[in-house]
Each structure stands twice: as C-alpha cells, then as structure tokens.
C-alpha cells in the first residue's frame, strides 16, 4: 500500500505545470475536449464577421439618386430677373444713354426709381418705366456730410419687392450709371438656387474704399443681387432696420447691415465692378479673373474703353 501511494505521488510530481499556453483538458465519458485561448479569439472574429455581413445585407437600402435629386426649376432666363435702378430727377436724363446700352424693353424687366416727378420726364419705350419713390422723412439720417437720399435708395429693395412682379427669381440693384451685361449675369445666376438666401455682389477695387466701408459689402454702384426668397424676407423688416442705421453713409451699407441681421453674408462674384478708379481701365480689364464681366460703373470718370 505504501509503495503504491509513493509511486502515484511521484507520477503526479513529474507532470508538467499548467500554464496559460497549455490547453486545458476536460475528460467526460472517454471523450476529450480541448479549447485554447487562441481558438477562442478565432471564434469571436468569425462571429463578428458574420454580424457585420448581416448588418450589410439586411439593412434597408438608401434612396436611389433618381428619387433624391429633383430639378428645382426650369433654366433661368432674362425674364426671371428684375432690375431696380436708383436714379434722381437731376441725373436720369443725363444717364439715359447708359440705360439704353443694356435695357431691352422686349426681354428685360426693370424699373427706374426717382425722387420726384418732373415735367421733363416722358414715357420712353426704350427706357425702364419710372417709379417715384415714397417719402422717407420719418427715417433718421445722422451721417455728417452725407446725403439723405441714401435712405430712399435703400428702400428701393422693399419697393421693388412690393411691386409683386410675377415669375421673378432674382432682384438686381444698381445705379443709373451702372452698365449691366445681362446675358452674362443670367448665366452666372443660373448656378445659384433662387429658393435659397443669396446676397451676391462684389466689393470695391479700391483698398481705401473697402477699408472705409467694408471688404464684405456688395457695393451698390457695381450692382448686387438678392434672391427672391431672401428679398421677400428683407422687405418685411427693412423699414424697422433702417431706423437702427441712421449713422451709416450709403444705401448699400444699410442693405448690407440689414442682411447681416438676418445672418446672410455676401457671396462674392468678381464680375461686378464698382470701378472706384479714374482714367484708363485697360489694366484692370486685361487682368480680369476667369469669370464673366457682369457690370461696370463710374464710366463718366473713365477714359473711353475703345478710343476712336
């Protein structure tokens, strides 16, 4: 008996120790099952892979592009633009030649907004219809040395919208000495969605003017554009907004500030030109960016572009 116990104890002490890498063995009714940690890891990886395949092939498919993309409208044409030109009884007759350069009564929709009616004004089918602006005496203007007419010109935005001209997508604003390139403007605006809020224009070529007013403002002489959806909202709040900005100089600064209150910044299009320059414009035009020429301003102070 003692020898049998000693022999059994010796066989147990000679067995190798169980480590983390040694498979554990379970004996049940003559069958041996072995499960190593490395095989457990493989099993988990296979299970994860099967779950991923299930999620991929059994999840709802996303909507097709043909259903997600719906054309918003027909192509933009001249008919979809309304030009609102700020003028005065003292300058309108003198600036008529500029208006005739781009205005076509058969294809261009436009109004000229004047301060007062005069006997010298007559109905001319080659010029935009004239509208006399409403009284603006109730609005404050405190900029020393400035012109109160800036308020009237700023309200052209509201008065143009209130005309309720049908089928308008874009409201275009400029001065009576702004020369627009209408077809180029139509092509440029066709890349934008008029149902969204857009304020499109450009700053001045003059560093001094930009520093004085803003680098992010659409200068009114070069012209700026407001989408229909934004113009409708701006028209509703413009009068109350103008009361808060009596200290500003110009009309474009007022429109810019009221749009900023709505959270809308300028979308810069380099084709609009304020032309705060004098003399020969050849250098500026020859270095024009690769974008359509949309407008020119202050041509009275510039040398002839094509001298005879």
219-246 pLDDT per residue, tens: 999 999 999 999 999 999 999 999 999 9
Residue 22 lies in a domain: no
DSSP, residue by residue, 244-294: HTTT--SHHHHHHHHHHHTT---EE-TT-------B--HHHHHT--SS---
In tens, the pLDDT along 23-39 reads 444 444 444 445 566 77
Among the residues of 144-267, which ranges form H helices? 149-154, 156-162, 182-189, 207-212, 228-244, 251-261
| CATH at 188 | 3.90.550.50
Residue 50 lies in a domain: no
Confidence (pTM): 0.75
What does DSSP assign to residue 14?
Answer: T
Residue 308 lies in a domain: no
pLDDT at residue 119, as a whole number: 65
In this structure, how many other beta carbons lie within 10 angstroms of the beta carbon of residue 267?
A: 16
Residue 2 lies in a domain: no
Longest dimension (CA), the chain: 142
What does DSSP assign to residue 127?
Answer: S
In tens, the pLDDT along 146-173 reads 999 999 999 999 999 999 999 999 999 9
Taking the mean position of all CA atoms in its chain, how far away is CA 59?
A: 36
Is the pLDDT at 248 greater than 60, yes or no?
yes
Taking the mean position of all CA atoms in its chain, how far away is CA 131?
A: 30
Residue 92 lies in a domain: yes
Structural domain for 175, as ranges: 78-303
Quote the number of domains for the chain.
1
Mean pLDDT over the full length of the chain: 85
What does DSSP assign to residue 134?
Answer: P
Closest CA to 269 of 292, 286, 248: 292
Residue 175 lies in a domain: yes
Q: How confident is the model at residue 276 (pLDDT cuts 50, 70, 90)?
A: confident
Residue 31 lies in a domain: no
Please give the Cα distance from 58 to 51 (Å, whole number): 10
Please give the Cα distance from 289 to 116 (Å, whole number): 40
Please give the Cα distance from 149 to 91 (Å, whole number): 13
Residue 145 lies in a domain: yes
End-to-end distance of the chain based on CA atoms, in angstroms? 135
């Amino acid at each position: 008996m003692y020898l049998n116990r000693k022999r059994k104890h010796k066989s147990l002490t000679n067995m190798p120790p169980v480590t983390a890498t040694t498979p554990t063995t379970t004996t049940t009714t003559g069958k041996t099952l072995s499960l190593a940690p490395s095989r457990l890891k493989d099993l988990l990886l296979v299970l994860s892979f099967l779950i991923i395949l299930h999620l991929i092939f059994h999840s709802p498919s996303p909507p097709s592009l043909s259903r997600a993309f719906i054309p918003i409208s027909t192509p933009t044409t001249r008919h979809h633009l309304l030009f609102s030109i700020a003028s005065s009884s003292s300058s309108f007759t003198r600036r008529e030649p500029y208006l005739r350069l781009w205005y076509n009564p058969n294809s261009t929709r436009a109004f000229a907004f004047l301060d007062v009616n005069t006997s010298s004004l007559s109905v001319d089918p080659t010029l935009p219809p004239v509208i006399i602006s409403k009284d603006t005496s109730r609005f404050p203007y405190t900029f020393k040395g400035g012109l109160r007419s800036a308020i009237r010109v700023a309200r052209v935005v509201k008065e143009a919208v209130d005309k309720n001209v049908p089928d308008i997508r874009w409201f275009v604003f400029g001065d009576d000495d702004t020369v627009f390139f209408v077809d180029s403007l139509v092509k440029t605006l066709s890349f934008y969605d008029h149902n969204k809020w857009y304020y499109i224009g450009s700053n001045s070529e003059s560093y001094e003017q930009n520093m004085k007013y803003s680098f992010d403002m659409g200068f009114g002489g070069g012209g700026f554009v407001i989408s229909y959806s934004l113009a409708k909202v701006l028209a509703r709040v413009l009068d109350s907004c103008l009361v808060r900005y009596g200290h500003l100089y110009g009309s474009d600064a007022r429109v810019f500030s009221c749009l900023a209150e709505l959270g809308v910044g300028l979308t810069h299009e380099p084709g609009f030109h304020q032309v705060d320059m004098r003399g020969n414009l050849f250098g500026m035009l020859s270095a024009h960016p690769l974008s359509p020429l949309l407008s020119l301003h202050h041509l009275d102070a510039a040398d002839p572009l094509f001298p005879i």
